[in-house]
Structure 1
Amino acid sequence: MTGTSPRVAVVTGATGGIGRAVVERLAADGMSVVVHYANNAGRADEVVQAVTAAGGSAIPAPADIAEPEQVQALFDEAEQRLGGVDVVVNTAGVMLLAPLAELDLADFDRMQRTNVRGTFVVSREAARRVRPGGAIINFSSTVVKLALPTYTAYAATKGAVDAMTLILAKELRGRDITVNAVAPGPTATPLFLDGKDQPTIDHLASMAPLERLGRPEDVAEAVAFLAGPARWVNGQIVYVNGGVS
């Protein structure tokens, strides 16, 4: 943070269910937010307009997060227009489900490209540019420990995110930058609900002792904690799942 200027957050996948909730929460906390999108400029503009209407500050910025040059341009945009980068949140992700024996390798590669390579490329740029006092927040998933059938390939990508998170936290020793991941459980987003019938959704909702699905706002609350006051939480995978185990 420089002087009295707002802290600046870059949120990838900012037009998704959780991504948008994260943007709106960080903006409500007083941060200026870069609303990243891959293809849908219209949805990004909607998010920016919602933030602005609520009195916050946000700008849209496109990038393929798996391409280093485009990610560099994304960070350049944040620095040139907003003054720097303090918080980076990697919410962008792809989830394609099938039993391991039946999963198309094209789907496997697609998830690896976004969830692993994309998180790596964004985290690498973040490690180079985030200012002291900042935070890098990756997205894991509770399915890494639940080991649910059909989630093999997706959980494998999130296991990779866990490893990157824990090691990067140590590599940034002395920089006053925290690195953590949030691991949501079943959360009512289009990404999660797509392709599931009602009995499946009801079963997943019943897994938590709180007996409901998570909401994007629940996850955004944890992100805001890690992005702001949680300066002594570092190198952790924070399970945000209502007690699912």
Structure 2
Amino acid sequence: MSLALRPIGERDIGLRVGLEVGQAGFMAVVAPAEIDAASRIASLLGQGAARLEAPDDVRALSACLREAMADPMIVSGLDRLSDAAWQQLDRLRGRITRDRLTLLVLSPQSAERLSRNAPNLASLFGAFFRWENTSDAPSQPAAGDADQAEFDLLARAWMEDTQVESSLTRIIRHPAYQQIIAMGERAIRPILRDLEREPRMWGPALHAITGALPVPAADAGKVARVAEAWLAWAKDKGYAW
């Protein structure tokens, strides 16, 4: 089994992991061993998160996870696990599944061992992210740039997770879509830019934020016509994007 790693910058990790908090499941961040990624992620996530340095004994690790109340529980120190230990963990996967998020911080070597020796466990992961070095990025971006960056991350998560979803209700109730709505006015211009590039299902979000209803009833459900109506409304209201 080959792991599909999505690149992600440090500034985006807290936001992306935050989308999964409150849900059962697994995520993983693959980072170079010299980066103390677990500590940095914990600092991004705040009080709800906790760290666990994995014990060498897999059954002890399983017991720690079952008893853990943190959301998420950030597990590091997995480089010590042998191939046999990963295989055992694969067999115990049902015992380590929690009703909260479990985030594994893996080195490239431990990620490869997980892929090779615990394919059934790996199949339970919602995502594997590859830590990207963003130390050269501006530490305090302009407000508009920050809004666009936040929107881009949430929009990518929404599109990736709903690309084969057919239910409109589930599409617009996705946590990332709801967080875009929660951005309020800050999300309007990024949404308009995206709509101008490609029509997407942003009508419910714009309605939730603005209260406006510019789409004729005859065009409801027609994504391209809905996009045109919202762009025309925005121009009429004086928005520049």
Instruction: State the TM-score bracket (shorter-chain normalisation).
Output: 0.3 to 0.5
Question: How does the TM-score come out when normalised to structure 1?
Answer: 0.32
Question: How does the TM-score come out when normalised to structure 2?
Answer: 0.32
Bigger Cα Rg? 2
